[in-house]
Amino acid sequence: MKLDPAFIWTAFVKLLSAVPTTLFITVVSVAAGFLLGTAIALFRIYKVPVLGPLSAGYVTFIRGTPMLVHLLLIYYGLPAVIDGVSAAFGWSFRSVSIPYVVFALIAFTITASAYLSEVVRSGLLSVSSGQLEAAYSVGMTTPQAIRRIVFPQAFAASIPNLSNSFIGMLHGSTLAFTVSVVEINAKAQIVASTNWKYFEAYIAAAVIFWGLTVLIERLAGVLERKINIYNRGGVA
Partner 1 sequence: MIRLRRITKFFGRNQVLKDIDLTVEKGEVVVILGPSGSGKTTLLRCINYLEKPNAGEVAIGELAVDCKRPSKKDIQALRRKTAMVFQHYNLFKHKTALENVMEGLVVVRKLAKEEARERSVRVLEKVGLGDKLDAYPSQLSGGQQQRVGIARALALEPEAILFDEPTSALDPERVGEVLEVIRNIAKEGITMIVVTHEMGFARDVANRVVFMDGGVIVEEGDPKIIFSRPKEERTRQFLKRITPEANYSI
Binding site for partner 1 (CB under 8 A): 128, 130-131, 133-141, 144, 148-149, 152-153, 156, 229-233
What DSSP character marks residue 90?
Answer: T
CB of 146 to partner 1, least distance (A): 12
- 100 vs 136, beta carbon nearer partner 1: 136
CB of 156 to partner 1, least distance (A): 7
| 10 burial via Cβ count (<10 Å: 0-12, 13-18, 19+) | middle
Name residues whose C-beta falls within 8 Å of residue 198's C-beta, 6 or more positions apart in sequence. Answer: 188, 189, 192
> How many Cβ atoms sit within 10 Å of the Cβ of residue 63?
12
CB of 35 to partner 1, least distance (A): 22
Q: Three-class SS of residue 51?
A: helix
- 97 vs 137, beta carbon nearer partner 1: 137
CB of 109 to partner 1, least distance (A): 29
Dihedral of the alpha carbons of 192, 193, 197, 201, in degrees to the nearest 10 = 20
Query: Which uninterrupted H or E stretch holds 16?
Result: none
Cβ pair 176, 159 in contact under 8 A: no
CB of 155 to partner 1, least distance (A): 10
- 46 vs 61, beta carbon nearer partner 1: 46
- 157 vs 191, beta carbon nearer partner 1: 157
Q: Please name which of 201, 207, 184 lies closest in space to residue 5, comparing C-alpha atoms.
A: 201
What DSSP character marks residue 226?
Answer: H
Query: Which uninterrupted H or E stretch holds 104?
Result: helix 100-125
- 21 vs 153, beta carbon nearer partner 1: 153
CB of 127 to partner 1, least distance (A): 9
- 150 vs 186, beta carbon nearer partner 1: 150
